[in-house]
């Protein structure tokens, strides 16, 4: 049977999975959601001996039902290959009493690679299936990691162009260098004068601009998205939660059927939503612990039922989570509104107009699987330092936010369940913050000197992604105001 997708803002029209991937965002500005979350049709016993690629097929075929077996397997094989520095793709590492699911072994050393190494293949396959002849222009707003992962995935892919917007001054030095040194004739990188929310809102406005869509189409282009608003990003992220649970079983860390908790360092709410989908597919996950940094709009939301972005935007040492408008939360709001697209639309309009909305007590009740927590800058540093001192394991800043919140939840709730932490970036990517957390003496040391030092103290090999940017040429220097994003896109495309 075919699983169809509908918009969170209009339940009437449905599209196939490949159409949803091609479009990215629905015409009404809503996000595509599957009509229901499919169940796994393999047992945990079968899953425990599967490779990452086999697990990916078992999970993704349930969601992307209009892809043939051959198409989907080809996408998976092309995505999860030697671009990753380990055959297991997503290793599970026991650190103290928690399990870190390391999602940073791909080409750009952050978890965005897990989905963005397959999205270009899903998208070009979807284009073929739907007889699309236009070139597809991927527009992406990034808080740092999506940009590079999308650039790496789409560089020189025939029939595609990619334009990435990132907040000038809002990303780490390594993140910026990774983006501005990107090769590929079809790639463009633009620094905007504004923060991530400005970039994301700008991109959404361009998607919703019907006139521009028409102009573009006349020139042989159409837009799609590599942000986690694209369902083609979300579905591949469900895979690693299924895989992690199966590996915990395989390694006899848990008993059959034993429930675990999952803590996810959260920004745009894509990663944790994927864990929620994994739970609904049948993975025994109890609590979904949503960890924020000082931009703790989600923590406040889970506390009070009020989502309020009217607050100061704080630049933290975990910049990929510096977000006040978590796009993917809309998918959860829609779900807890019982699939009432009018209700969801009303709340999203309030968010757009007033920057805030409040959900009903009935909706709040349906959020009981979620727990919110946050870590301050001090607490994040402390987590990095004490974990290093106790275990020798070095975490990046984002993962540290999650590790802190996970430990705090355990302490305060007394919940004895084992906990999985989504480890979202290599410490090399945020090296300055990581090393100064370990020892404040490093504060004035050059980032690339710190690379060798981190390798020495952690025993972790220096990733290729870091070696590559040490001497690479800067290829992208374009900047613009947030208000000029549309003009910049037209200029780049020559329309
Ligand atoms: C993107 C990102 C996050 C946040 O993930 P969301 O899916 O946006 O919630 C956390 N950590 C790192 C390193 C990231 O790149």
Looking at the DSSP bridge assignments, the partners of residue 306 are 358
**If residue 452 lies in a helix (H) or strand (E), which one and from where to where?**
helix 447-458
What is the structure's pLDDT at 446? 87
Q: How far apart are CA 36 and CA 42, in angstroms?
A: 18
What is the structure's pLDDT at 471? 86
Shortest-distance Cα residue to atom 14 of ligand 1 = 320
E strands present in 318-414: 356-358, 370-374
C-alpha torsion sign, points 327, 328, 329, 331: positive
Q: Crossing angle for the helix pair 52-63 and 69-79, nearest 10 degrees?
A: 140
Atom number of ligand 1 nearest to Cα 430? 13
What is the structure's pLDDT at 470? 87
Cβ neighbours around 188 below 10 Å, total: 21
Q: How far apart are CA 240 and CA 255, in angstroms?
A: 19
What is the structure's pLDDT at 289? 98
pLDDT bin (cut points 50, 70, 90) of residue 414 is very high
Shortest-distance Cα residue to atom 2 of ligand 1 = 320
C-alpha to C-alpha distances, 224 to 143, 221, 232, 271, 298, nearest whole angstrom: 18, 10, 11, 20, 27
Q: How far apart are CA 330 and CA 332, in angstroms?
A: 5
Q: Is 163 in the pocket of ligand 1 (CB under 6 A)?
A: no
pLDDT at residue 1 is higher than 80: no
Instruction: Kindly give the distance from the C-alpha atom of residue 319 to the centroid of ligand 1, in angstroms, as a whole number.
Output: 9
- For residue 31, give the DSSP letter: B
- Mean pLDDT throughout 10-32? 94
Structure tokens at 351: 């968010």
Atom number of ligand 1 nearest to Cα 228? 7
pLDDT bin (cut points 50, 70, 90) of residue 11 is confident
Q: Is 106 in the pocket of ligand 1 (CB under 6 A)?
A: no
Based on the residue annotation, tell me whether 247 is a catalytic residue of this protein: no
Q: Is 274 in the pocket of ligand 1 (CB under 6 A)?
A: no
CA neighbours closer than 13 Å in the CB half-sphere of residue 139? 25
- Mean pLDDT throughout 13-21? 96
Instruction: Kindly give the distance from the C-alpha atom of residue 403 to the centroid of ligand 1, in angstroms, as a whole number.
Output: 14
Atom number of ligand 1 nearest to Cα 270? 7
What is the structure's pLDDT at 304? 97
Burial 205-218 (b: 16+ CB within 10 A, else e): ebbeeeebbeebee
What is the structure's pLDDT at 97? 93
Closest to 434 measured CA to CA, from 381, 473, 372: 381
Q: Is 266 in the pocket of ligand 1 (CB under 6 A)?
A: yes
pLDDT tens for 327-364 read: 999 999 999 999 999 999 999 999 999 999 999 999 99
Task: Number of helices (H) and strands (E) in the chain: give both, helices first.
Answer: 22, 16
C-alpha to C-alpha distances, 266 to 275, 290, 423, nearest whole angstrom: 12, 6, 11
Best mutation site among 141, 152, 265, 288 for ligand 1, i.e. most ligand atoms within 8 A of its Cβ?
265
Instruction: Kindly give the distance from the C-alpha atom of residue 108 to the centroid of ligand 1, in angstroms, as a whole number.
Output: 13
Q: How far apart are CA 443 and CA 400, in angstroms?
A: 19
What is the structure's pLDDT at 387? 97
pLDDT tens for 228-275 read: 899 999 999 999 999 999 999 999 999 999 999 999 999 999 999 999
Q: What are phi and psi of 67, to 5 degrees?
A: -90, 140
Instruction: Kindly give the distance from the C-alpha atom of residue 321 to the centroid of ligand 1, in angstroms, as a whole number.
Output: 6
The residue from 6, 73, 83, 112 that is catalytic is: 112
Cβ neighbours around 418 below 10 Å, total: 16
pLDDT tens for 112-160 read: 999 999 999 999 999 999 999 999 999 999 988 999 999 999 999 999 9
Name the CA radius of gyration of the chain, rounded: 21
Average pLDDT value over all residues in the chain: 96
User: What is the DSSP code string of 79-128?
Assistant: HSSTTSSSTTSS-EEEETTEEEEE---STTSBTHHHHHTTHHHHHHHHHH
What is the structure's pLDDT at 144? 85
- For residue 375, give the DSSP letter: -
Q: How far is CA 327 from its chain centroid? A: 11
Q: Is 145 in the pocket of ligand 1 (CB under 6 A)?
A: yes
Shortest-distance Cα residue to atom 8 of ligand 1 = 268
Atom number of ligand 1 nearest to Cα 267? 9
Q: What are phi and psi of 160, to 5 degrees?
A: -130, 155
Q: How far apart are CA 166 and CA 147, in angstroms?
A: 7
Q: How far apart are CA 466 and CA 449, in angstroms?
A: 12
């Amino acid at each position: 049977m075919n699983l169809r997708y509908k918009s969170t803002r209009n339940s009437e029209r449905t599209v196939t999975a490949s159409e949803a991937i091609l479009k990215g965002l629905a015409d009404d500005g809503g996000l595509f959601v599957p009509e229901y979350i499919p169940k796994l049709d393999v047992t945990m016993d079968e899953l425990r001996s599967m490779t990452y690629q086999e697990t990916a097929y078992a999970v993704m075929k349930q969601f992307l039902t209009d892809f043939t077996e051959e198409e989907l397997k080809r996408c998976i094989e092309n995505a999860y290959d030697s671009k990753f520095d380990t055959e297991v793709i997503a290793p599970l590492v026991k650190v103290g009493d928690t399990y870190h699911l390391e999602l940073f072994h791909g080409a750009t050393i952050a978890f965005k690679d897990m989905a963005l190494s397959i999205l270009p293949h899903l998208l070009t396959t979807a284009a073929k299936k739907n007889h699309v002849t236009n070139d597809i222009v991927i527009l992406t707003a990034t808080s740092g990691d999506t940009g590079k992962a999308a650039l790496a995935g789409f560089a020189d892919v025939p029939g595609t162009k990619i334009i990435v917007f990132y907040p000038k001054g809002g990303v780490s030095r390594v993140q910026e260098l990774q983006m501005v040194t990107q090769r590929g004739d079809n790639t463009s990188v633009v620094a905007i004068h504004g923060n991530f929310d400005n970039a994301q809102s700008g991109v959404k406005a361009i998607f919703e601009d019907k006139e521009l869509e028409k102009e573009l189409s006349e020139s042989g282009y159409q837009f799609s998205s590599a942000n986690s608003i694209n369902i083609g990003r979300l579905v591949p992220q469900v895979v690693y939660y299924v895989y992690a649970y199966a590996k915990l079983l395989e390694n006899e860390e848990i008993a059959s059927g034993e429930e675990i908790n999952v803590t996810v360092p959260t920004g745009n709410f894509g990663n944790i939503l994927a864990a929620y989908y994994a739970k609904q597919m049948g993975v025994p996950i109890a609590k979904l612990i949503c960890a924020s940094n000082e931009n703790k709009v989600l923590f406040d939301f889970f506390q009070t039922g009020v989502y309020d972005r009217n607050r100061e935007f704080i630049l933290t040492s975990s910049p990929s989570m510096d977000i006040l408008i978590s796009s993917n939360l809309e998918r959860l709001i829609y779900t807890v509104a019982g699939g009432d697209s009018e209700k969801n639309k009303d709340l999203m309009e309030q968010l757009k107009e007033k920057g805030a909305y409040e959900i009903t007590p009935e909706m709040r009740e349906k959020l009981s699987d979620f727990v919110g927590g946050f870590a301050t800058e001090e607490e994040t540093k402390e987590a990095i330092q004490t974990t290093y001192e106790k275990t020798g394991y070095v975490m990046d800043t984002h993962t540290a936010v999650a590790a802190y919140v996970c430990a705090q939840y355990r302490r305060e709730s007394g919940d004895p369940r084992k906990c999985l932490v989504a480890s979202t970036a290599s410490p090399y990517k945020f090296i300055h913050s990581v090393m100064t957390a370990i020892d404040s003496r490093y504060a004035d040391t050059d980032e690339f000197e710190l690379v060798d030092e981190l390798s020495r103290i952690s025993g972790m090999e220096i990733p290729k992604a870091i070696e590559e940017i040490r001497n690479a040429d800067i290829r992208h220097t374009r900047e613009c105001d947030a208000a000029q994003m549309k003009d910049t896109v037209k200029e780049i495309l020559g329309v």
